[in-house]
A and B are shown apart, each in its own frame.
Chain A
Amino acid sequence: MTPTAGLGFKPCHFDEALAEPAAGLWFEVHPENYMVDGGPRLAMLRALREARPLSFHGVGLSLAGAAEPDRVHLARLKKLVDEYKPMFVSEHLAWSREGTTCFPDLLPFPRTLEALLRVARNIDIVQHALGRQIMIENPSLYVALDGHDFSETDFLRQLAKKTGCRLLVDVNNVVVSANNLGFDPYLYLDALPVDAIGEIHLAGHRPDPEHGDALLIDSHDSPVSEQVWALYDDLLDRTGPVPTLIERDGNLPSFAELMVERERAAALMRTPRQQVRYA
């Protein structure tokens, strides 16, 4: 099976997910939700894996932290990866651990040379431990930080070059960050190294209740916006078909509604492109 467009897996859609016949469908999960000794969660993951390819999208390695990835967490991830053999393993360009405290969030940092070396080292550690390539996702940003030595796209390009990792481009995150920090999302996508892009995420966002459209929140609680679809279409002109995921976490609609969005992505992937340009 050639994976085309996938869905973020929600346990409440388990039966429909297993029964769905769509060609090329795959599912993405947060491995952290399955780091248990046993029980119904792992039983569900096992059944899902037997039916479809999986992608593991981690949120807990804190790769953009000064410290090395937590060994216990990495060992748990390796155990799951070895057993379930996902087609992709990805993580975020963010940190979520400071000392002994873990923040269930994806936090920003100044993209300095020191940070580049540390993140590259952390990716090396993870890839070495897992014995495979991982993908790194661009974050949603809400504040402007001082002291960047690199643009985000240059930073990602350097990481891919130094570690051999690939990139997971979250188009919604680009829209959210571009809006919040004031840059052009098309120029951002144009600056990405196309040949390193291994997966694309599409999701919805919402305006902040207090600040409105001046501050967009990467909420994953609404359908993919038309702006994101337009950018995605544009990105596909350059990348050609890349496995694409619809992410939805809040205000969860029916499985069928998610499949409609998923089919829209699959249709765009099938659309013949005039010219596939490579950067």
Chain B
Amino acid sequence: MPDLATFQLAFATAMCGTRTRGTLEGQPGFAVYRNTTPVALAETLRANYPVVGELLGDALFVETAFAFARHHPASDPVLLGYGPAFPAFLAAQPWIADLPYLPDVAAIERLRTEAHMAADASALGLADLAGLGTEHWPALRLRPHPATRIAWLQTPALTIWRAHHETPGFETLSPEWRAEGVLVTRPSGILEVHALDAPMHRMIFGLRLGETAGEAAAATASTYPEADIASAFAALVNAGALARPASLERN
């Protein structure tokens, strides 16, 4: 009898193979083991990428998910975050030219998955800032809330994602072909998805890098002279994108 490690390796190799003869592979029940892993991983991908599933249709989604699972086996028994490489995998599919926005739609769904699992923290509100004199605002070092995720996408993927998320089965849509920014937040435990314009994107990007509010505002104003900096900042705060600094914690 081989030792346990040798047995496991042989069993795992047989599961991933396609042989149907042999003392193990020849048994009808071996197909149960062969199917369980790809089916479970494909179901996880469907849960994590529901709009991608809808856009691809059942047959193509399952085929693509199985192919992904073969190339990207799980490396963690916790499957909640499985499939971070799925958007890039979609981008490499031969048929992707017909659905050029699909990897970006997948990227939005990935941001939602990450936001869902992120740590808890209090979100900064305008009321917190009101208690602090405006002269102190520029020096504030504000950080994104742990659940905040941002992306700048080269396709109108947010418009497409939103149409399908809000109305499953939605079919007719002719979005203006332009880049879109997306902001995912979780200020009160529920995921929110917001559009992010270029000034807002620059500002929160700077804050994430460690700029003070004043530095981020000045850099944003310099890059986007037309932008209403105060509105962009207020929109970020209202979306719950920023964490309340410890110095502003309410008693």
- A interface, CB within 8 angstroms of B: 32-33, 35-43, 59-62, 64-67, 70, 73, 76, 95-105, 107-110, 112, 114-115, 118, 141-147, 180, 208, 210-211, 214-215, 217
Contacts and interface: CB of A to CB of B under 8 A. Distances in A.
Given A37-B146, A39-B120, A59-B77, A98 B9 contact: yes
Interface residues of B, number: 44
5 contacts: A39-B147, A39-B189, A112-B4, A211-B28, A215-B32
Contacts of A65: 4, 8
A61 to B, nearest CB: 8
A102 B75 contact: yes
B1 A147 contact: yes
A160 B117 CA distance: 36
Contacts of B116: 36, 39-41
Contacts of A38: 117-121, 146-147
A214 B74 CA distance: 31
Contact of A104 (B37, B117, B190): B37
Interface string B13-50: 00100000001100111111100110011001000000
B76 A37 contact: no
A238 B32 CA distance: 33
**B-side binding surface: helix, strand, loop or mixed?**
loop
Interface in B80-111: 80
Interface of B: 1, 3-5, 7-9, 11-12, 15, 23-24, 27-33, 36-37, 40-41, 44, 73-80, 115-121, 146-147, 186, 189-190
A181 to B, nearest CB: 9
A95 B79 contact: no
Nearest to A149: B1
B40 A104 contact: yes
B80 to A, nearest CB: 6
A97 B79 CA distance: 13
A66 B8 contact: yes
A35 B78 contact: yes
A96 B119 CA distance: 28
Contacts of A142: 27, 29-30, 32-33
B74 A109 contact: no
A60 B80 CA distance: 13
A88 B23 CA distance: 38
B67 to A, nearest CB: 17
Given A60-B78, A142-B30, 14 more contacts: A39-B115, A64-B4, A66-B3, A70-B77, A73-B77, A98-B8, A101-B12, A102-B76, A104-B36, A104-B41, A104-B44, A105-B40, A215-B32, A217-B32
A208 B30 CA distance: 12
A215 B29 contact: yes
Closest 4 CB pairs of A and B: A60-B77, A142-B29, A38-B120, A66-B5
A39 B74 contact: no
B30 A102 contact: no
Contacts of A211: 28
B77 A32 contact: yes
Contacts of A59: 77
